[in-house]
Structure 1
Amino acid sequence: MSNIAPLTKGQQLIALLEAYGVDTVFGIPGVHTLELYRGLAASKIKHITPRHEQGAGFMADGYARITAKPGVCFVITGPGLTNIATAMGQALGDSIPMLVISTVNCAGTESQGCLHAMPEQASVIKPLTVASFQLNTHDHVTHTIAQVFAALSDTNGTPLGPVHLQIPLDVIGQLATEEVAKVAKRPNPADNQHSAKVLGQIHDAASIINQHSQIVILAGGGAVNVNQQLQKLANTLNAPVVTTINGRGLMAGHPLSVPASPSLNATRSLLAHADCVIALGTQMGQTDYDMDVNGKFPALKNLIRIDINPSAVNMPRQLGIHCNLLQALTYLTPLLDHKGLSASLGEARARTTRQGAFTELSRAYKQHHTFLSTITSALPETIIVGDSTQPVYGGNCYFEAPAPKTWFNSATGFGTLGYAVPAAIGAALGRRLQYNHHPVVALTGDGGLQFCLAELATAKALELPIIFIVWNNLGYGEIESSMLAEGITPIGVSPKPPKLDALAKAYNIGFAKLSSFTALTKLLKQKANITSPLLLEVNEALILPQIEPQTPF
């Protein structure tokens, strides 16, 4: 007779998460998720407690970007799920894999006034997901979790983004009737067999590419894990590579790199004169390609688009290839023959575009570029996680991050506020798992900071090496500028920020106030080996006039 106590479905779920490689979960325990925590204590999974479920979602987002693993969250029925919905929206907009596991009240109790009651809970949250599942009474946990992780994989031909799994309260504590099955090893994308259709499309793409010489590559966030293959492709074709916001850091420092927004005139001119454009892992969304919403993005000739999102490749006037990028580039590049092209021609096109793009920036955006470059020069191994704040807007227009995954922010896609602080926590935790203890920079405005003040306590509790830089312009500076530009009297754009030195003291974290721009490099170098959080205040009115724009070439 076995002495091993049978597992509940909640405990079995935890065992399966661990088997699938989950090492961290973000969540706030509640009475509706107790059965998840029964199994968690006995596992090797680390639990991170944010101060708000929205923070949990943003932490999972930052963690996923750094580790290339899904960020996993536990939330309670009802308000836990609605609180995390904003973070799910950002992850959906940026194609970030996230698993949100929630409970739900028992079927048949909808009109009984139960705690956390939420009508049609799964239906409410489903539009913010790429897949939604429910574990029912007669479902095998192993089979359900296999479906969940298939939806989270970039090798299965499905778009990446949030996945929701909900478990009724009368199911989560049930004894499991089956043993935990062995989890299949996750396939290496490069080893997967291509379908005959995809192989044919890749050959068609190679044929088109080999007939042209003025080629440009667009590289988005979907390409951050194939930088080596991207460089090989670019070198083979002598093609400039334009990186989107989430693709910044790809091709860093390479003569073919164009770290400039496709919304800028110089970048659009490069694309308009290309006789073939290859788009890799980019949604080609408005916040990258038409920031000013002027509808003047040029028609692209011989557009070849490779993406794991079926909707991205099923568009008219393009050759769309529905495929994992590592698979596609591994097969495509050897089929290309551009040995007769001079490398200097591609490099000259890229250099001309970089110079033109930077020249057309406003003086303020050029100053922001200098500010950002000063940060990365002083902290070359840092990651800058940005909120919707003015230096981030400037960097999104033009800025070369030092490496892939070192520049990302919420001023794109869904466009949330309150992202930088918790997402930086997730990024720092991801780095810690990789035994990388270089500091992470969270760049936020004084307005955005007030969306997530409490997560400073989470950073301190975990003693994470994060420098929280607050660009203080005493309100919503970007919105005020937009109102003035449209002839609108600014209203509601001046929420008074807290005293940041007192705030840092309240959370028991370090504090520094930048009084001169020239002191920034010295200060950051002094903090290059910090082991706990630091709050750094930058007063825009004081510092911006001191910044003399420096050209990046």
Structure 2
Amino acid sequence: MTGGQALVAALDAHGVDTVFGIPGTHNLEIYRHLAEQGIRHVSPRHEQGAGYAADGYARTTGRPGVAVVTSGPALLNTAAAVGQAWSDSVPVLVVSPGLPLRHPGLGNGLLHESRDQGGALAAIAAASIRATSVPEIPVAVAQAFAIMTGGRPRPVHLEVPLDVLAETGDVVLSSPVAAAAPVAAPLDVAAAAARLTGASRPVLLVGGGARGAAEEVRRVAERLGAPVVTTANGKGVLPEDHPLSLGAGVHLPAVRELVDDADVVLAVGTELAPSDLWYGPLPLADRLVRVDVDPVGAVTNAVPGIALVGDAARTLRALLDLLPSTDAGEPAARRAESWRDRKAKDAEAEGAEWLEIVAALAEALPRDAVVAGDSAMVCYYGAMTNLPVHRPGAFLYPTGFGTLGYGLPAAVGAKVGDPGAPVLALLGDGGVMFTIAELATAADLGLPLPIVIVDNSGYGEIRNEMLDREDPVHAVTFASPDFAALGRAMGCSGVTLHGPAGLAGAVREALAADRATVIHLRHSDPAARLQGDAR
């Protein structure tokens, strides 16, 4: 096989059926073999969009997402997406050509030459692997998948020198290696079970690391009678209409009070990171029992009284074997309802400006819908804590890295990965401009995708921070384009709304359409915003 053929065959052997990417001079030997191997190619309009689409695909399907790009600027364009995947523990594989094996050490101006593109990606991914011969390529692919799927999921960069892509060599394809999911040590599980059994006011804090343990989380919560609060990435692990669910928003004051009141807190698959908590660490002390597949993560941000280092699903099943066999029942549900009401008041107060929009979305979206959000006020103040979600991986949000431009390409990747799921993109007018070109991708694919752009005339969060600091307010307010007209120009349908009235109907129509629909929701008057900035 040629190196390009070996690479595509190895991806296929590892179950890859879809890649997102853009062809270029140096990766054509990879592209040559995609169709013959039966791998679908989706063409975003920018490599950052390819990375975010692969991320959305991975979060929705539970399988690694793959982006294939060319060298130099193309690969570096994926860097923000790789950083986001690292931050949120998402298995994304970025494949690119590299400089030739015997390229001059100080360079000679070859097309797309960069000093050390592998080093650049190694600084933000779990690893940057460089295959230096054709026989090594399937091994490198297997290594990449082992890193992405063993333990804590992380992104990986795989580089094949462009001359190796064109060479031929003998190839032995390897089957995927199924990494055994670790379970916590039995003595630690027994200690945790004893601690939880004796608790009268237990609480569960659940993160994205529990997405594969939804059933186990539900059973543990019911057995203990514990209210469940999730992070943004854990949203939907327990359906948010479950009697014990308090929904997402570990940063809210009521959750801090709930944790203060608890005698044991069971944290599953969450970093308890500042980007989740917003206002500082929770007061957990030795009341914390922590389940985490990453031993470093298990002692970061909060030192547990008992650490259970292992896969969330397997470790919770081991814990269930030692917990009382009867559910806590009605008293637990009443306690959860009381705290749910208190938390809801905090969430509504925080998201007051966005509640009508969120209510319209909740009215229109089916129970199995996926919402891909951007780092926008309507998402982190509105939808995260007030929009009900009922299955794991149904709220895609760039939590830790906090990138802009994520939501639109992530929604495309989610819809490609799960075509039967209703998918909606929820964006701000500032962030969507980072990846606005992906409207063309959604149009090309004919996706029935509502793309809701909530327009508050610029970077509203930063504008508010400037005001809070009593700084001069500038560079944050601007008039938006006519997004509906822009959508139509790029092959989508387009609707303009001047308030939440009509939003539910527009979303329903978009979910049933034969193409993507841009729904431009004008949330404020840009002239008034500009005048306010001038003051």
Partner residue, 2:62: 68
1:398 offset after TM fit, Å? 4.2
Cα displacement (A) at 1:186: 3.5
For the residues of structure 1 that align with 2:482 and 2:227, how far apart are their CA atoms? 46
Quote the residue 1:357 is aligned against: 343
Identify which of 374, 387, 405 aligns with 2:360. 374
Q: Percent same amino acid at aligned positions?
A: 35
8 Å CA contact 1:277, 1:300 repeated in 2: no
1:325 alignment counterpart? 312
Alignment equivalent of 1:447, drawn from 388, 408, 430: 430
Q: Secondary structure at the match of 2:475?
A: coil
User: Residue 207 of structure 1: CA displacement?
Assistant: 2.4
Q: Which residue of 2 aligns with 1:500?
A: 483
In structure 1, which of residues 271, 274, 285 is the aligned counterpart of residue 262 of structure 2?
274
CA distance in 2, matches of 1:138, 1:49: 27
Q: Which residue of 2 aligns with 1:478?
A: 461
Deviations 1:381-428 (A, max 9, x none): 321111121210213344432322221222x20001111111110011
Question: Is there any run of 5+ residues in structure 1 with no aligned partner, and where?
Answer: 1-6, 543-553
CA gap of 1:361–1:229, structure 2 versus 1, over 3 A, is closer
Answer yes or no: is the 8 Å Cα contact 2:495–2:520 preserved in 1: yes
Matched with 2:131 is 135
Relative distance call for 1:526 and 1:116 in structure 2 (3 A) is closer
Secondary structure in 2 matching 1:413: coil
Taking the aligned partners of 1:362 and 1:326, their CA distance within structure 2 comes to 32
Residue 35 of structure 1: aligned partner: 29
**Offset at residue 170 of structure 1 (A):** 2.2
Cα displacement (A) at 1:282: 0.8
1:518–1:476: structure 2 CA closer, same or farther, 3 Å change rule? same
Shift of residue 520, structure 1, vs aligned partner: 2.3
- Paired residues, number: 519
Change (3 A) 1:72 1:342: closer
One-letter identity of the residue aligned with 2:104: T
Amino acid at match of 1:325: A
Q: Show the counterpart of 2:167.
A: 174
Counterpart of 2:231 in structure 1: which amino acid?
T
| TM-score (norm. length: structure 2) | 0.92
Question: In the alignment, which residue of structure 2 is the partner of 1:306?
Answer: 291
The equivalent of 1:125 in structure 2 is 121
| Counterpart contact for 1:237–1:338, Cα < 8 Å | no
Q: Which amino acid aligns with 1:270?
A: L
SS of the residue corresponding to residue 524 of structure 1 reads: helix
The one-character-per-residue Cα deviations of 1:365-394 (angstroms, maximum 9, x if unpaired) are 134244223213212132111112121021
Relative to structure 2, which stretch is displaced further, 393-402 or 474-483?
A: 393-402
Correspondence list, 1:141-540, <5 A: 141-153=137-149, 156-157=150-151, 159-181=152-174, 183-184=175-176, 186=178, 194=183, 198-252=185-239, 253-289=241-277, 291=278, 293=279, 295=280, 297-315=282-300, 316-337=303-324, 339=326, 342-361=328-347, 363=349, 365-380=351-366, 381-394=368-381, 395-410=383-398, 412-432=399-419, 436=420, 438-540=421-523
Answer with 396-405 or 125-134: which moved more. Answer: 396-405
User: Cα gap change, 1:200/1:142 in structure 2, threshold over 3 Å: closer, same or farther?
Assistant: farther
Please give the alpha-carbon distance, in whole angstroms, between the structure 1 residues aligned to 2:305 and 2:161.
Answer: 45
Q: Which amino acid aligns with 1:168?
A: P
Asked if the contact 2:211/2:393 (under 8 Å) is kept, the reply is yes
Report the 3-state secondary structure (helix = DSSP H, G, I; strand = E; otherwise coil) of the residue aligned with 2:518: strand
Kindly indicate whether the alpha-carbon contact (under 8 Å) linking 2:6 and 2:134 is maintained by their aligned counterparts in 1.
Answer: no
CA contact (8 A) 1:130 1:160 kept: no
Distance (whole Å) between structure 2 residues aligned to residue 22 and residue 490 of structure 1: 48
Q: How far off is 1:338 after superposition?
A: 6.7
Q: 1:481 to 1:457 in 2, by over 3 A?
A: same
User: How high is the TM-score relative to the length of structure 1?
Assistant: 0.89
CA contact (8 A) 2:147 2:156 kept: yes
CA distance in 2, matches of 1:298, 1:446: 37
Asked if the contact 1:306/1:321 (under 8 Å) is kept, the reply is: yes
Give the residue type in structure 2 aligned to 1:462: L
Q: Deviations over 1:18-60 (max 9, x none)?
A: 1111010011111111121122131111011111000000000
Q: Distance in 1 between matches of 2:348 and 2:449?
A: 30
**What one-letter code is carried by the residue in structure 2 that aligns with 1:376?**
A
**C-alpha contact (below 8 Å) 1:23/1:44 kept by paired residues:** yes
Whether the 8 Å CA contact 1:278–1:305 is kept in 2: the answer is yes
Moved more, 484-493 or 172-181: 172-181
Other structure's SS at 1:133 match: strand
- Higher mean C-alpha deviation, range 135-144 or range 254-263: 135-144
The corresponding residue for 2:533 is none
Cα pair distance change 1:18/1:271, threshold 3 Å: same
Q: Output the aligned Cα RMSD.
A: 2.1
Instruction: Specify the SS of the correspondent of 1:360.
Output: helix
Question: Helix, strand or coil: the match of 1:225?
Answer: helix
Contact 1:160 1:309 in 2 (8 A): no
Superposed displacement of residue 146, structure 1: 1.7
Q: Distance in 2 between matches of 1:364 and 1:146?
A: 46
Per the alignment, in what secondary structure is the counterpart of residue 289 of structure 2? Answer: strand
CA deviation after TM superposition for structure 1 residue 345, in Å: 3.2
